[in-house]
A and B are shown apart, each in its own frame.
Chain A
Amino acid sequence: MNPVAPVAADPILLDTITRLFGDTCSHEVVQAAESEGWAPTVWAPFAETGAPWIAVPEGAGGSGGTLADAVGVLRLVGRYAAPVPAAETGLLGGWLAAAAGFDLPAGPLTVVPGRSEDDLVLDGSNLSGAAHRVPWAARADLVLALVDGRIVAVDPNGPGVEIVPVRNAAGEPRETVLFRGASARVADAPAGVDASALRRRGALARGALIVGALDRVGEVTVGYANERQQFGQRIARFQAVAQHLVRLVSEIQLVSMALDAATAAATVGDAAFEIASLKVLAGDAGSEVVARAHQSHGAIGMTQEYVLHQLTRRVFAWREEFGSTAFWREELGRLVGDAGADRLYPLISQGSAALA
């Protein structure tokens, strides 16, 4: 009936991952990963910590830990633009594998996000059809998908699978995977594991990545405006620039709050209201924050040499995934309309708990 209290991520874990990405995700490494499609020098030490499998139960081969831990790690992945399939391996793929009772392979996992243009068909244990925008498919040990209420897992390097290279706006692999009667492991999806649940978890994960990237956009922009001198003084001293800084930092605070509320709600329930709100605000903040960050920087922000683009292009890419901003706005509006005017304020103040 009432919303749940905040849940904090493990500070030691966050500290470890912060240092790890700080050491491994240099500007050059992130840049190189975009052309090569993979960054072994990031994935290997990241996998070593077990962090990719956080929130996947230990009994299922995962690292255990809470949803808040996983969200905290994803926020850092976003902050450092770390080129690793963290969400796909844990919150999404690991979740599906655990629900199906499949053993986890040693390497990364990926998932079929489930887009309207997909046409996957399961015939016994053979999978056919096309899956679109599958993250890092060529690098994954296993591709997991939901097909007709069943969880299926296919080795993307096995026979009957072709991978067509496609990248998102940030140069991250989002391949088209063509299955031609590929051999699949199949299990019935338990209650609560379906296409909408996958989309919600995906949206929460993308929300966390976006907030992480925006955290750093704020830091970089405020820092730059306090160093860069024009007309004989720091540009942050000009009111016009100061307005940009306050507005962009404000939007970051807003979406960051939405992430914390969504994480708390998703720990105990489906968090349909909170996650939809998060993805809407992350998309809106993407426009507002990115525009003001670039405007504050001037031309340097538009170059490959400077860090800003590694963050802003990822925000542009991630906000389209697992439901666009417009998709989630509409989804949320229907939820509110169905709940009715009498439950509007309970929803705003209590979130999904008001629907329970």
Chain B
Amino acid sequence: MAGSSFEYTVLTPSEEALRDEVREFLRTELPPGSYEPDLGMSATHSPEFSKKMAARGWVGMSVPRRYGGPERTAVDRFIVVEEMLRSGAPVGAHWVADRQTAPTIMKFGTDAQRERFLPAIAAGECYFSIGMSEPDAGSDLAAVRTTATRGDGGWFLNGTKIWTSGAHQNHWFIVLCRTSASEGDKHEGLSQLIVDLHAPGIEINPIPFLDGTHHFNEVVMTDVFVPDELVLGEIGRGWQQVNSELAYERAGPDRWLSVYACFEHLLRERVHGTPGARTAEVIGGITARFFALRNLSLSVSRTIDRGGAPAVEAAIVKDLGTMFEQDMIAALHDLWGAEPSLDAPTTGERMLARAVLTGPSFTLRGGTNEILRTIASRGLLGWYGLAGAR
């Protein structure tokens, strides 16, 4: 039998209490009809909302108490994220800082870096972007050409980052760059620097998203000085660190809940009483998959809390989840969609229009599913006891 670590698990009573607390918070802070729900993680940037969540201990949840965090489990974070995303809550400001920056700084950062950033992240006041992709380094991330050259007490950065979501709103980004020439293996000689998005030499140019919204930016760095105390981890270990960072972002509810609120709104708007056969078939097919995917995703969080390293499992959840989101958009549009319109009269219809337009990005962001599957395929051998076959 396949040796994956997926194992059915349910919430404990204290985890259920947390879920109920989050639901109550949302009923008070975001009563239905008082806001336009977002499509999952590409959410509205609202420092006000982020600070309210932080006051409850729901931002930077993994941060230990000694760094001002709530030191909660992966399952606790799963619960908070699940409730926020399914409501389309405005979690955009702290999103990256909470999901991947805080765990990365905790894992690779110096004590001074932890003291400096983690309390601010957990307070919902310090926001990060991701500085990985470049014009000539997409799926082939190790091809980055941004260089850091040695100066007095630090590094001078030159290069261009691209698809940098929220760079115009956030405070910092972690830049993957080349600190020494690659001789042979291009995975060597890479490093990560924590960079102030407001530092001299930074130029941020918007790249309008296809639906007219502004998430993406190009960030041009010209002789940006980064002091030694902002080098993250070890010089030359950037590739290993970045892969560890990417693993944090794969299996969460953000990979299968992007269109949930749209589904719920359309159900409320369009279905009154027992649905007819065709409508019921579509609703049933979507709901069954939500149910099983949620259990897979929750199981990954549980495994992480037990000290496991479910890398292949996480890749599988991301692949299954993001494809499901796209299939669901097609099924809902097929069933209920008129011509997609951002000016449609109802919330569900407007969300569906946004989903139709932006859905193709779901299997791209954080790395294309095709690349992800190639990585995951290597892990399958171990599951089937074929580790020696390579």
Contacts and interface: CB of A to CB of B under 8 A. Distances in A.
Interface of A: 2-6, 79, 215, 218-219, 222-223, 226-227, 234, 236, 239, 242-243, 245-247, 249-258, 260-261, 264, 273-274, 276-278, 280-281, 284, 326, 328-338, 340-342, 344-345, 347-349, 351
Interface stretch (B57-65, B108-116, B265-273): B265-273
Closest 8 CB pairs of A and B: A333-B280, A333-B284, A332-B284, A242-B377, A341-B268, A333-B283, A260-B8, A277-B288
Contacts of A253: 2, 4, 6, 296, 313, 316
Contacts of A249: 2, 316, 380, 383
B319 A246 contact: yes
7 contacts: A218-B384, A219-B384, A236-B377, A253-B4, A260-B8, A332-B287, A337-B279
Interface string B1-21: 110101111110000100000
Contacts of A337: 267, 271, 273-275, 279-280, 283
Contact of A336 (B6, B283, B313): B283
Contacts, number: 181
B114 to A, nearest CB: 34
A134 B254 CA distance: 46
Given A223-B386, A247-B319, A253-B4, 9 more contacts: A222-B380, A222-B383, A239-B370, A254-B289, A254-B293, A257-B295, A261-B295, A341-B268, A344-B267
B162 to A, nearest CB: 25
Contacts of B320: 250-251, 254
Contact of A257 (B296, B319, B376): B296
B380 A245 contact: yes
Interface centre among A245, A264, A342, A345 (most CB of B within 10 A): A345
Interface string B352-376: 0000000000000000001001101
Contacts of B135: none
A329 B274 contact: no
A4 B10 contact: yes
B229 interface: no
A280 B6 contact: no
Contacts of B280: 329-334, 337
Contacts of A218: 2, 384
B287 A246 contact: no
B290 interface: yes
Contacts of A264: 8, 10
A330 B274 CA distance: 11
Contact of A261 (B8, B275, B313, B374): B8
B381 A345 contact: no
Given A6-B8, A261-B291, A341-B267, A329 B296 contact: no
B292 A222 contact: no
Contacts of A236: 377, 381
A242 B390 CA distance: 13
A330 B293 CA distance: 20
B282 A3 contact: no
B294 A349 contact: yes
B277 interface: yes
B285 interface: yes
A274 B291 contact: yes
Contact of B274 (A243, A254, A334, A347): A334
A222 B6 contact: no
